[in-house]
Structure 1
Amino acid sequence: MEIIMTEMLWAVVLLVVGFVLLIKGADFFVEGSSSVAKMLKVPSIIIGLTIVAMGTSLPECAVSITASVTNNNALAVSNAIGSNIFNLMVVCGFCALFNPLYVEKSTLKKEFPFSVVCAVLLLVCGYLGMQLGRADGIILLIVFVAFLVWMVRSALKARAAAGDDEYEVLPVWKCIVFIVGGIVAIKFGGDFVVNGASTVAAKLGLSQNLIGLTIVACGTSLPELVTSVVAARKNELDMALGNVIGSNIFNILFVLGIAATISPIAFIMENVIDIVILVVMSVLVWAFAWTKKKLDRFEGIVMLALYAVYLVYICMR
């Protein structure tokens, strides 16, 4: 009994240390990369649409790829799906409590529906054959590249309206330290989280799917939560919602695309149900945003309440 408790304590310590490394590593990586992009005269709107959204999704990427390499594939897919549901319902819902999240028409017509299409694509790929194979992974990555090209072209069209002083430029040596240090922290953080979560699941008799949808998903989504809440409190509301949508697209197309290409991911019916729930919740939030062109405090409370119901459901099933 004492040995089991010691192993559990060590696993929890690994989880906490892993989450800290993931969050701080993503923070350093974003800051360093942003400064490099600034030095190279890359428009700040492109920096926000790409580096910020992808940077906050690096923890999910690290965990899912590590899980795929170590054949903990149930953790890889549940982490990505759980993070997307958390991002959508908790991050957006929590932000709406501070300030109404006004949504641009272009976002409602382009990025938001595209994120729903990505979830449906994942559902179709996973349900057919009940696995996300290497061919499916490659398809997701091709769609991701196409999305990047589309996003950059859209950003270049809006370049004239973008400010040029959004990010502080760091010295070159500090950029290198931040980028390299961030990557190293994210790598080891991902290892620690996967190992810790797998141990906790084994000792408590819980499935990797449940651990991935709850503890790991919430932990790896902390960068999105922090970034979006800070943006909402500073009235940078487009960034708050854009970060969530961009991260959700990145999680499905790139994170699961890479993970499936490395090692095919077997699907269980619970995964299919969770993706259906993600699609339904995405459509619901899209409808909320479409009716008033914003997400207000009441809708934020509804979204948080729905996530609480979802948590109860996955813990009881």
Structure 2
Amino acid sequence: MTNFDKVQFCDIDQDHQGQRIDNFLFTFLKGVPKSRVYRILRKGEVRVNKKRVKAEYKLGYGDKVRIPPIRVAEKEQQLDLSKFDRVKSLESNIIYETKQFLLLNKPSGIAVHGGSGLSFGIIEALRALRPREKFLELVHRLDRDTSGCLLIAKRRSYLIHFQDQLRYKTMRKEYLALVSGDWDNANNRIIEPLYKNKLKSGERIVRVSEEGKPSETHFKCLKRFDTEKGDFSLIKALPKTGRTHQIRVHAQFAGCPLIGDEKYSDLDADSEVLQRLNLKTFLLHAQKLTFSTPDEEEPKTYEAPLPALFEQSINRLSKQ
């Protein structure tokens, strides 16, 4: 059983000022289904300053929130994520940390959050490792098989500040990727709109389409590899917008899809080089992230070291 079996009162501080009451409760009542949270809001069991509120109510500084007793039967025993070796290893992947945020060199192969059959993701793992942290939220997302810089806020004020930088395109992201083909630097700016389609299976497929949202990525070829099995390129990508699978789809549109990208490349054509490089998926690494904080207006650049497999692949292609 997950128990919140006593009435609880919370005084809202600056970190939660302006946050919707439903989002506040999702974090505070970890493990309680969202449907249950909305139910206690509808019934008026949650009170703010002794008054009923709706789910969209935005909390004010100094608000007093009353949370009723809640008892929820779990379908299965909750896993202690802190015992998983891969979860524990995340501590060594932290690039930089303050009391307000942390920057992680996310490993490839782990989703940023649980769901869709996944028992846990990066954010659940960090919360398990840091049970005393009251607030840990993803600032942005990376695909499951993408590695590199992932920013997590530890204060709501910082989360809002970082998300504003994303919204106004002042946060700079820089990626490295290995692609099939000889990249033409004439394709250094791609502004094709992207349309996201969700299949019945839940899988997301993105296509270049006039029906899609405006999208822009800047590219630069850093190194070319002329091998017996074809041409390949190491490219730098700077996305100016943050659409789903944006770099992968824009690279495909340019005629140079990421090697081993099962959604957007020809796996049969890539099969031999994938075997030679010992790759099971594509190589896309969020190498650099540049941003400011509420305390320091001057932006700083942080860098995530390349995964060993990425470096090995570059070296092997260079020798072929």
| Higher RCO (Cα < 8 Å, 6 or more apart) | 1
Q: TM-score, normalised by structure 2?
A: 0.27
TM-score w.r.t. the length of structure 1 is 0.27
Higher helix share: 1
Structure whose residues are more often strand by fraction: 2
